[in-house]
Amino acid sequence: MKKNKTKLKRGQIYWEIIKLLGMTYLSGGGSISRPILPLLIKEIKRLLKESRNVDTEEEKIKTTLEKLEKRQIINLTERNDNIFVEIKGGDKSMILKYSIKSILDLKKKDEKWSGKWYLVFFDVPEIQRNKRDYLRYFLKKIGFFQYQKSVYVFPFNCKKEIDLIRQIVEGGKYMKYIIADKIEDEERIKIFFKI
């Protein structure tokens, strides 16, 4: 059976490339190194097709990279026949947030559940209530199940992503991470994650 390709609305390729660059940044832990620009564009085209089921023209990818560089979201530097893609400045947090969600979505789609639960909980001081509220919103937004008010559950290993959240989200330093073999009321969590 042939898989339908995703059709993007105007401007969506911009966000797909931002997510993809962020995911590549996360997996590499720093600047994204790729071959010279035409090969970088081909690589982005391939990754978009594989990870997002998006098929797009190379010219659109090139134009989007130029826009991202012009807006100073990324920096393209050529050294020794390689293009280094660096995520820049104030928009870095926003890009990484989109990317964490994309990574967790891929885990839910592609990984087989091992039977373990990955819990995140936090105790943010009352004086920093706004940080606590944002942390709750953020964890729900990226796909965690709210087990209790400040306890969230995910069915796949997400230690690397939690470590990143600690760095980019205010209040993240109060987060703790636990791996559990069994938790009460897990049937409703299984329904939520469709496992």
Question: Closest Cα partner for 60 from 70, 49, 45, 74?
Answer: 45
State the pLDDT at residue 2.
Answer: 46
Residue-wise burial string across 55-73, b where 16 or more C-beta atoms lie within 10 A, e elsewhere: ebeeeebeebbeebeeeeb
Residue-wise burial string across 122-132, b where 16 or more C-beta atoms lie within 10 A, e elsewhere: bebeeeeeebb
Give the confidence band of 30 by pLDDT, cuts at 50, 70, 90.
Answer: low
Is the pLDDT score of 10 beyond 80?
A: no
State the chain's mean pLDDT as an integer.
Answer: 81
Is the pLDDT score of 45 beyond 90?
A: no
8 A C-beta contact, residue 132 and residue 124: yes
Average pLDDT over residues 1-12: 57
Using the structure block, give the residue that is written with the tokens 């659109």: 60
Q: Between these two residues, 139 and 25, which has the higher pLDDT value?
A: 139
8 A C-beta contact, residue 54 and residue 5: yes
State the pLDDT at residue 1.
Answer: 43
- Considering only 49-63, 80-94, 117-131, 139-153, which range has the smallest mean pLDDT? 80-94
8 A C-beta contact, residue 114 and residue 108: no
Give the confidence band of 32 by pLDDT, cuts at 50, 70, 90.
Answer: low
8 A C-beta contact, residue 58 and residue 42: yes
Q: Between these two residues, 9 and 39, which has the higher pLDDT value?
A: 39
Give the confidence band of 91 by pLDDT, cuts at 50, 70, 90.
Answer: low
Q: How many CB atoms lie within 10 A of CB 144?
A: 22
Structural domains of the chain sorted by starting position, each given as residue range(s) with its CATH number in brackets: 12-92 (1.10.10.10), 111-193 (3.30.70)
Backbone angles phi, psi at 173, to 5 degrees: -65, -15
Q: Which residue intervals of 53-158 are DSSP H helices?
A: 58-70, 92-110, 129-141
